[in-house]
Each structure stands twice: as structure tokens, then as C-alpha cells.
Amino acid sequence: MKKHLFKIIYLSFSVVFLIGCSSDNDSKDEVIVDPPTQEDPLTTTNAATYMVDASATKETVALFYNLKRLGKTKTAIGQQDAFNSFYQDAGGESDIKKNTGFDPAVLGSDFMFITDKNNNEQSSNWFYQQEQKIIADTKAAYAKGMINTFSWHLREPNKEESFYASDMTAQQKATAFKSILPSGANHEWYKKKLDKVASVISNLKGSNGELIPIIFRPFHEFDGSWFWWGADYCTAEEYKKAYQFTVDYLKNTKGIHNILYAYSPDNSYSTLEGYLTRYPGDKYVDVLGMDNYGDLNNGSDGYNSANAKLKMLSIAASTRVKIAALTETGYQVTATTPPINNWFSTTLYNVLHDNRVFDLQFNTISYVMFWNNSKDGYYVPNGTVSNASDFKTFAEKPRSALLNSLPKMYEMPK
């Protein structure tokens, strides 16, 4: 017991010392993937037993293991549509790379256009062209060693025109989600959408023919009611049932074995009990995530709240042997909304990492993803705007990881 206690104290002192004394340039020499410890049951040989899919491809198992380990030392930084959405439509490299010189560590994509009713899979079709672009971007990101994550802004099953509840009638909002459940009127419609998703995922392949792993977060931000799958439009049990069916159908019926599944509400939950209200179960979730824009745009009280929620995620992920992630965040700068001083390098960095000092037995956040830039605003500054140096400082800090400091995510460490 004394030996174990001494080990904890020693580790605590070592990590606190590291946080206090590391410079922003230390990250290049830091060991990112650490060996398993007595406090952490995950090993290179048993990783698949903690995953949703025990038959996952070896690259997918390696991604799970390495992401879990990465959170011990670094947080991978990514952006939605990084290869295609740029501030002021300035094409070329991602805005992250324009600023820092390095690719992001995570690329966010979406199945929305891929499953759109207007996608007729003809080369002249705009939606099919978007599908091909997304596939090409995913393959390019994987070839670079980046992590791929997919959301799904699935349009509602009635007219398939919108994913926003505000565009639906009261009757549609009351019935849409229930209709996709087994025995529901639109269940076969939903299965066809999943068939399309499965077809795309099963054809994501690397240069050696291996399947490319992705993180998939179905029905995200479900605790709000802006999407038709939101909390006002289905019970907790109905939500769980839809999530479970989605996983089972892709994994068992379609035989897709290159997915990590993410549970990804918005920021409404401040307790673990609340966070787990719609949780489909450990057998269905690999990544415990949270989207959080509101707290991080709300001054010091919001920052403290965001940190507490990530701390909650870290504890839950540690006890369940899951990955913890800030699956979406950002502060959008526009012509009328100026940047917040040191928002990246001080505020967000501290929100992500302050919990390490007090809870060293828990992992921190394995990755953070910013939303996409656009012509009229940005979540990540390119190299030409006033807060460009703030983001670059954030990206160069010891516990931040762009692609240049990411380990080999698709190979188990020797």
C-alpha cells in the first residue's frame, strides 16, 4: 500500500512539475504514447475487448488504443471540413496549415450530402460530387496520418428538406424520430440511408487496401431541440433504441468493422447522471464526447463550467475505458464579432488541461474539433487575421497536437 501511495505521489509531483516547467517547444521530444500502468487496464492485447466492435479491424483497434493513450499527454486539434471550407473562400491548404505550417490532426466530415435524396450517384450530380470530394478528403487525411470523424445532419424523413426542427410542423416534429424506429413508418427509409452510409464506409480504403477507420457520432447534440432528433421529440428510451439499432445494423447486418462510435450531446449536462440520461450503454459507445460552444462564449463563469464538464467526461471515460473528446467547439469571429484576447492560448487551453493537476489518475481530452470556416467568418484563424498568433501559440503548447506531433495512430506501439 505504501509503495502504491508513493507511486501516486511521485506521479502527481512529476506531472505538476511538467505542467509548470514545460516550454511550448517541448512537445517535439515528448513521449506521446505511454505504456499501460497498474491504474489503467487497457493494453495493446486487450484493447478490442473495451470497444463496441470486438471484430474491429486492426487499424481501428489501434486508433482506439492510441487515442485513449494520447489523452494522457496531448489533445489532437482538428476542424470540420478543414480541406474545403476557408475564411473568405481562400482555397489551398487548410486555414490551420496556413497559420501554423502543419496539417490539423483531425478532419471532420459529414454524411449529409452523401445521403441526400438528390444524390443520384451520377457524375454530373452536385451532391454526388460532394460525396466524391468527402471520400477523397478522408483518404487524403488518412494517408497523412490524421484522424477522421463524421457527423450526420440527416434530413427529416418526411420531405427530406431540413434537419432543423424549426422547419417542421408540430405533427412532423412529434412523429419523425419515432417513425425511424423498428416497426415505425419510416424504418425502411432509415435503413436505406444506413445502407448508403455503410457502402461509403466499406469503400474507404488506404493504399494497401486496408479499411480506413472513422469516428461516427450519430444523432449528435440530442439534448437540445434544434434538430428533429432532439430531446423534445423523443423519449430517452426511444433515443437509446435508435442509437443501438444504428450501431447493430452497421456492425452486424452490414458487417462494417472500421467505426468507433461517439456519444455526443451538447453542453446542457453538468452532472454525470444527467449526461448518461440517454446513454445507449458501454457496448454501444467508444467515445464519450460533448459539443460546447455556449460555455466557451460566456466569460469566466462559462469557462469554469466548460472545464468542469470536461473533467466529468474525463472521469467517466477513465472508469469506462472510453475515449474523452470535445467533439465540437469554437468561437466564431465575423465582421461584427471581434476575437476574444487569448481565447485559444489561455482560455481554451486551460479549459482542456486544468483538470490534470487535480485528477492525475484520469485521462484528459483526446481531441478537440473546431467547426468549419466560411466566407463570412472563422472558428480557426488563418495566418492573416488579428488573432492568428493566439491560435499558433495554442497549437504549439506542450499538450496540443497538430499532425506534426501526432503519433502513428493506426499502428499499435511496439
Grid coordinates of 80: 470540420
Under DSSP, the state recorded for 87 is: G
Annotation says 221 is catalytic: yes
Considering Cα of 275, then 147, then 284, then 262, what sign does the dihedral take? positive
For cell 451538447, the residue is 266
**Residue 209 Ramachandran class (φ > 0 left, ψ -120 to 50 alpha, else beta):** left
SS3 368: strand
- E strand residue ranges, 280-359: 287-292, 323-329, 333-334
Q: Using CA atoms, how far apart are residues 295 and 216, in angstroms rounded to an integer?
A: 24
* Contact between residue 327 and residue 280 where contact means Cβ atoms under 8 Å apart: no
* Residue 102: φ, ψ to 5°: -130, 150
* Contact between residue 62 and residue 411 where contact means Cβ atoms under 8 Å apart: yes
* Contact between residue 236 and residue 290 where contact means Cβ atoms under 8 Å apart: no
Grid coordinates of 336: 461584427
Annotation says 156 is catalytic: no
What are residue 80's DSSP bridge partners? 108
* Residue 164: φ, ψ to 5°: -90, 130
Q: Using CA atoms, how far apart are residues 70 and 297, in angstroms rounded to an integer?
A: 27
Q: Are strands 75-80 and 367-370 parallel, antiparallel or unpaired?
A: parallel
Compute how many other C-beta atoms are within 10 angstroms of the C-beta atom of residue 414.
4
Q: Are strands 333-334 and 377-378 parallel, antiparallel or unpaired?
A: antiparallel
Catalytic residue chosen out of the listed positions 59, 156, 221, 396: 221
Grid coordinates of 79: 476542424
* Contact between residue 129 and residue 120 where contact means Cβ atoms under 8 Å apart: no
Under DSSP, the state recorded for 384 is: T
Give residues with Cβ within 8 angstroms of 325, minimum separation 6: 262, 287, 288, 289, 290, 313, 365, 366, 367, 368, 369
Grid coordinates of 271: 452532472
Catalytic residue chosen out of the listed positions 161, 328, 396, 411: 328
Catalytic residues: 221, 328
